[in-house]
Every structure is written in structure tokens, then in C-alpha cells.
Amino acid sequence: VFQCDGQYIPLPSLQGIAVLNIPSYAGGTNFWGGTKEDDIFGAPSFDDKILEVVAVFGSMQMAVSRVIKLQHHRIAQCRSVKITILGDEGVPVQVDGEAWIQPPGVIKIVHKNRAQMLTRDRAFENTLKSWEDKLKYEKYDACKPAFRPHLYPQQSVDLATEEEVTLVQQCAQAAEELITRICEAAKTHSLLEQELAHAVNACSHALNKTHTKFPESLTRNTAIEIACNVKALNNETESLLVARVPLQLDSPHEELLSNALHNVEVELRKLAEIPWLYHILQPNDEEEHSLEYAKRHSRSTMFRIVPKFKKEKAQRHKTSPQPVQKWGTDEVAAWLDLLSLGEYKEIFIRHDIRGSELLHLERRDLKDLGITKVGHMKRILQGIKELGKNTPMFDV
């Protein structure tokens, strides 16, 4: 039961509630929307003596909370909060990093006093770091005037030119579009969230530095950070789509994600024409070998993203003309190969798992077989689910 200033408030379907007295969370994250005042809520502030109560819908929301147009929900603004925990089980509670299980009872949160807080001066820190970098290079250059490192650290403290700023902004826009498409596809395909959450977070944080009041003040040091993070996100996404697993996405998601990834690659090639970014953005021998190997062994020159159900149908015809219930161990092994999980073929063959048994496997059965990786279990269960959907009724 949830109350704000004595008023009962119905809650939506959510996983948690955050009560804040500052306009940000977890190092600057604003996961409930904008920072401006509207018809219902006032602008979040740290000195208005008002608590901000917001909903947390899940880990996906928290992981990509810096992405624009993220789902958010502000519950209330009030001076006191009362939460009544009913039932026999406790709920997890965390205050300033300390977490525990709170048994059933009543939790009261009241804005009582204000204290002086220390804040970081980002502008001063950046200026000081640039000055220190310049001193380090001048001292180093005095000892070895003929040596020039690949990344040209003396240029990192200089401002980018107008043309270079334009190229960086275009690359940032393409990366933001790619992040948006990844988030949309991840809502129905959890593997994308598991594999790309870290890269999306790091890239989003770097891209925030392009949204400044004075774009012409973009330093080469910041541009290098943006380029490195965009390149990392591009490589991880491409590696996942090309080499690791055959994803099953709806046609709109497939086309939008592929187009967004292609646009990022185009913009990165443009950035690589900038001399001081060339050594960062050019692919090294290991990257070229791994991606080339993946593309040679993929089933087409396109990414292995195929429309949902079309791929399953093609796999069934290619694997065996028989219904799934009549599959033998060889057909089941071939199906595992199509899921890029061939390392489990011997386990399935040793336990004589045929098509009829395959359709009835559950999570606990996979654990009994020795499959412990969560991602692999999800892919097998999703594949079984798709097989069941495409099985004719008269064969059941």
C-alpha cells in the first residue's frame, strides 16, 4: 500500500519504486524523463524540500536509462511517503548503497533537513586535465623531440575544427539511432540486452558530451572518446549479429537495425579520414580476421537476422522433411547446429533425445543435462517454442 502526503496512490505494474531528494540517480542518470516543469509535476530540484517518487520497470530501463524516449513514469511529488508492506514475505530495500530485506511492516520517508553538499566542477576538471596533459607532453617532447606517438597526445588538448565537429556530430546521430534500434529490438529479444548493455551504456555516456551549448568547443580528446565508444558498440553489435547467434527478429526490427548499423559504419569511415583519428578507427589485424571469418562462415553476405517464423520454416525443411515428433537424434543434432549450439550435440545424442522428447524439454531438464549458461538455455527454449508453434495440429 502506497501513500504520499496521506493520499493513497494506485501503482502501475512495476518492479520497484525509487524515492529521491535529488534530480538524478546513480551518477547523473535521469530515468523518469525530462527536467522541466509540466502541468502535473514541478521540475526536479535538490533544494525544494520535495521528494520525487518514480517507478522502476526493470533492468532494461536502468541499463539504457540515458537513451532518449525511454519509457518512464513519475508517480508523485510529496513531502512524506508511507509504504505498507503486506503479506508474509519481505521486500528488498536499498538506502545510499546499503541493501537489505525489509520484513512486512510500515516504512515512512520524510524530508526533514537540508545539508550542504559538495559537487564536482566538471569544467574545471577538464581544464585542469588538459593543462596537465599539455605539461606532460612538453616535458616528454623536450627529452625526445624526434618521437611522435601514434595517437598524437599533443593534439588531444586542441579544439576540433568546424568540419571535424560536423563529422563527429553526424557519427553521434547515427550512433544514437543505432542505440534506439537496439533498445526497441531488445524489448522482444533479451539476448541483445544481455550482450550489448555495457557497450550501449558506455556509448550513451560518451554521446552526451556532444549535446553542449557550444558545439564548437568540442576538444579532440572528447572526439577520440566518442569515436572509441561508437567503434566498440559497432564492433560488438556486428560481431553478435554476424558471428555469434542467428537472431530471429520481426521484419521491421531486422531492417531498421541493419540500416542503423550500416549508417554507423559509413560515418566511422568518414571519421577515419581525419588524420588524428585514423590510428584509432582503422581495424587492426585481429578485428579484420575475426569479422572476415564470421562473414565467410555465415549463411549469406547479410547479417544473420531473419524474419521470425520464416527462418524456422526454412530450418525445418532443410533439416528434415519429417514432422518434429518423428525426428531422430541426428535431426535434433542438426537443429542444435542451426542454433549455433553444436557443443551440446553429444549430450543430446547420449541421452537419446528425439523430436518428441525435445518438444517437452523445460528449463529444469536442460539443467539436468548439464546446460548451465543462461543465454544458451534461453536460446534452446526459444527454439523449442518456435518448433511447437510451427508443428501442425494433426501431428501433436
CATH number at residue 332: 1.10.150.50
Cα(193)–Cα(209) distance, integer angstroms? 24
User: pLDDT confidence of 106, banded at 50, 70, 90?
Assistant: very high
**Are residues 269 and 174 in contact, defined by beta-carbon separation less than 8 angstroms?**
no
- How many Cα atoms are found within 13 Å in the side-chain-facing hemisphere of 338? 23
Pairing, β 74-78 against β 51-56: antiparallel
Q: Residue 354: which of 335, 329, 333 has the closest Cα?
A: 329
Task: Provide mean pLDDT across the span 208-230.
Answer: 80
Enter the DSSP assignment of 56.
E
pLDDT at 321: 53
| For range 133-155, the mean pLDDT | 50
My answer on whether 290 and 321 are in the same domain is no
Q: What is the model's pLDDT at position 314? A: 42
Q: Is residue 135 part of a domain?
A: no
- For the ranges 26-35, 156-165, 224-233, 350-359, which has the lowest average pLDDT? 26-35
Are 297 and 168 within one domain?
Answer: yes
In a domain, 141, yes or no: no
> Region 113-135: what's the mean pLDDT?
70
Give the torsion sign (CA, 385, 390, 393, 396): negative
- pTM more than 0.85: no
Name the most confidently modeled range: 80-84, 255-259, 275-279.
80-84
Total domains in the chain come to 3
127 in a structural domain: no
Q: Which of 85-99, 248-262, 368-382 has the lowest mean pLDDT?
A: 248-262
Last residue of a domain, one of 288, 306, 324: 306
- The pLDDT value given to residue 142: 53
Domain identity same for 163 and 291: yes
116 is a domain residue? no
Same domain for 262 and 382? no
Residue 336 lies in a domain: yes
Q: What pLDDT score does 108 carry? A: 92
Percent of the chain with pLDDT strictly greater than 90: 10
Let me know whether 302 and 170 are in one domain. Answer: yes
Q: Domain for residue 140, yes or no?
A: no
The pLDDT score that the predictor gives to residue 278 is 81
Shared-domain flag, residues 56 and 72: yes
Answer yes or no: is 117 within a domain.
no
Check whether residue 70 and residue 98 sit in a common domain: yes
pLDDT of residue 152: 44
For residue 65, give its domain range. Answer: 2-110
Of 255, 281, 251, 253, the residue nearest 267 (C-alpha) = 281
> Are 165 and 219 members of one domain?
yes
What is the reported pLDDT for 105? 92
| H/E stretch holding 76 | strand 74-78
| Residues 298 and 168 grouped into a single domain | yes
- Do both 70 and 188 map to the same domain? no
Residues 287 and 380 in one domain: no
- Residue at which a domain ends, from 86, 110, 134: 110
pLDDT tens digits along 264-315 = 999 998 988 888 888 777 765 444 444 444 444 443 333 333 333 334 444 4
| Mean pLDDT computed over 142-156 | 43
Indicate the residue among 87, 110, 133 that finishes a domain: 110
pLDDT band at 215 (very low <50, low <70, confident <90, very high): low
Residues 155 and 286 in one domain: yes
Q: Considering the domain boundaries, does residue 144 fall inside one?
A: no
- Residue 390, pLDDT above cutoff 50: yes
Question: Is the pLDDT reported for residue 39 higher than 50?
Answer: yes
